[in-house]
Structure 1
Amino acid sequence: MAVCSLYLGQLEEAIGVLESLTTPTDPATGRPILHDVIVANLAVLYEVESDGSAARKLRLLERLAAAPGETVSVSAIKLG
């Protein structure tokens, strides 16, 4: 869905789709879907969106650090 949105030029919608996957919204488990590829793609979309991508990536890192369960490689966020 995020790829389709990006292809159609809807960057904000593409970011929203990936952010929703990395945010715990499932009431049954309360766990986000964490995968290095999803996080890396979200980080790239932040870079495409604006020069303020570093702040958004840090907030993403904070959200991922607080999430239970699976771990994601910090290198997927591409901070430096």
Structure 2
Amino acid sequence: MLGVFVYLLAGEFFAEDSPQKIYSSALSLVREDGRCQDLFGSTIAGFGEETSRGRRRHVAHHKYEKDGRQRIRVLFHLKVIKHLFERIMVQ
């Protein structure tokens, strides 16, 4: 029983097409992109949807099929330093 649980858990977090893996890759791309750093600054944090306990771990995702291929849409939020938003809006 424990082996099945570990297998399923590992598949969810370490599989190539898991929502967590896609989230991590996308967040890395955003953090490394020069345009995002110019716009938001170098301090960029990401998080998922807030749960009833106030945790932000759940990465919302939706699996669908398009053009005969399985696809997945992942939704997460970015958090940046607040004063950078104010400075950008003033300019």
Same fold per superposition (TM over 0.5): no
- Greater share of helix: 1
TM-score (normalizing by structure 1): 0.27
The structure that has the greater radius of gyration is 2
TM-score (normalizing by structure 2): 0.25
